[in-house]
Structure 1
Amino acid sequence: MTASSGTRPRAERLPRSERRAQLVDVASDVFVEFGYHAAAMDQIAERAGVSKPVLYQHFPGKLELYTAIVSEACEEVVASLETAMASSTVHRDRVAATIGVWYDFVAEGGKSYRLVFESDLTNDPHVRTLLDKFNFDAATVIAERVTEDTNIPLDAALVIAGSLVGASQVGARTWMSSDSSLSRAEAVALSSSLLWRGLSGLPVAVSPNTAD
């Protein structure tokens, strides 16, 4: 009997952490290709070359597997935003670096960004809570720096940061989905120029040369 299309040979034994990473990668492919509801744990196990019991040793169910993938992707983006905010003392450069995180996510995240932004499960309460937390955490990283560098209170800074996050996400997704002729650098520069016009008007509480 020949193997069905898309199956892989039985996988070699791997350390637990490596096996988990492999299962996450394979499951991401399946979820993107078929959507959450049509994807099956049997299918994921077969593509990964493992038995279903092995898959269930790592993830007790399909929802847990899906949310693990989304959660890890979100955590990576938030960590990248923290790095971007710490990358320069020049405010305009930090804005560009922050916007660049979202363009990198859609350009390089591939499967992950589709599960975060284009999931057929966003109405599930657990997934919705996870994505809402992601957006809040992303905004908080930016808002804390805005508050530190200006006289703006945190609740107001969160509104500003949330606007930056939302505009950056939509701009990056539009660039990716429209088959744009613009390079990543050109698209980031355009978004940065637009958003910096508003952000540059915030009151600066640090030395003037950092606002350039």
Structure 2
Amino acid sequence: MPVNPSSPRRGRPPKTSDQHERLRRRVLRATAATYAEFGFRAATVARIAARAGVSKPTFYTCFPSVEAALEAVVADAGARLVEHLRPIAAHATDFRAGLAAGITAYLDWADQVGDGLRVFHAEQYDPASPAGRLRAQATEGLRDLLRQAVTGSGRPAPSPQALDLLIGGLQVGCYQYQHNPGRDRDASHAAMLRLATALLDTRSG
């Protein structure tokens, strides 16, 4: 039977650390794709292994469970968002320009994460899902960056309530942006910027 060279091949478990890391990343990509298609409750080892082109025992050499693999996917996505935003927050001297740049970076990250982000947003209040379990951790990181950006522009730190409202609003805006077949990025960016300005402009008077 001919072999499709573009398809991943099942084989022996890796023998070197480099091989294992490549295998782990392949399984992570398959986990992310499976999660995006089926969500947490229908993502199984069999589906992930089949998509990665490995056996189920090989999957378990990378992760002890589906939950562990999904948590790694969600944590990696959150870490990438922080890396997108950290340099902007660190150099935010102009309030509105900093917010605009941060929202641009947020939408760039959303485009990179793709379909999995829609599932994450849908499951973030499900305590059984990795999205739900990691939501508090991700939110705290975003709070810190937003607080840094606002104070770096010379304004007083916003209240925790304002930060939480903004994070929730940005997530809703991003969810709607990804669900819009037309994906009007400029309109989404403008709406998110208006929300951020209204909630974070803490100048008195």
Query: Could you state the TM-score of these two structures normalised by the residue count of structure 1?
Result: 0.77
Offset of 1:56 from its aligned partner? Answer: 0.7
Counterpart AA for 1:189: A
Offset of 1:194 from its aligned partner? Answer: 4.5
- Name the residue aligned to 2:146: 142
**RMSD over aligned Cα atoms:** 3.1
* CA distance 1:176–1:34, shift in 2 (3 Å): closer
* Structure 2, unpaired ranges of 5+: none
Are the aligned partners of 1:147 and 1:157 in contact in 2 as well (CA < 8 Å)? no
Name the SS for the 1:152 alignment partner.
coil
* Structure 1, unpaired ranges of 5+: 204-212
- Name the residue aligned to 1:206: none
Larger RCO, structure (CA 8 Å, separation 6 or more): 1
Offset of 1:23 from its aligned partner? Answer: 0.7
Tell me, in whole angstroms, the C-alpha distance in 2 between the residues paired with 1:58 and 1:128.
Answer: 23
- Name the residue aligned to 1:164: 166
Number of positions where the alignment pairs a residue of Structure 1 with one of Structure 2: 198
Name the SS for the 2:41 alignment partner.
coil
Alignment of 1:1-212 (within 5 A): 9-10=9-10, 15-119=19-123, 122-124=126-128, 127-150=131-154, 152=156, 156-180=158-182, 182=184, 184-202=185-203
Tell me, in whole angstroms, the C-alpha distance in 1 between the residues paired with 2:192 and 2:86.
Answer: 19
Tell me, in whole angstroms, the C-alpha distance in 2 between the residues paired with 1:109 and 1:96.
Answer: 20
Q: What is the CA deviation profile of residues 33-57 of structure 1, one whole-angstrom value per residue up to 9, with x for unaligned ones?
A: 2222222212211221112222111
Name the SS for the 1:112 alignment partner.
helix
Query: Could you state the TM-score of these two structures normalised by the residue count of structure 2?
Result: 0.79
Q: Which runs of 4+ in 1 moved over 4 A?
A: 11-14, 148-151
Are the aligned partners of 1:102 and 1:168 in contact in 2 as well (CA < 8 Å)? no
Tell me, in whole angstroms, the C-alpha distance in 2 between the residues paired with 1:18 and 1:77.
Answer: 23
Tell me, in whole angstroms, the C-alpha distance in 1 between the residues paired with 2:155 and 2:99.
Answer: 18
Tell me, in whole angstroms, the C-alpha distance in 2 between the residues paired with 1:18 and 1:92.
Answer: 41
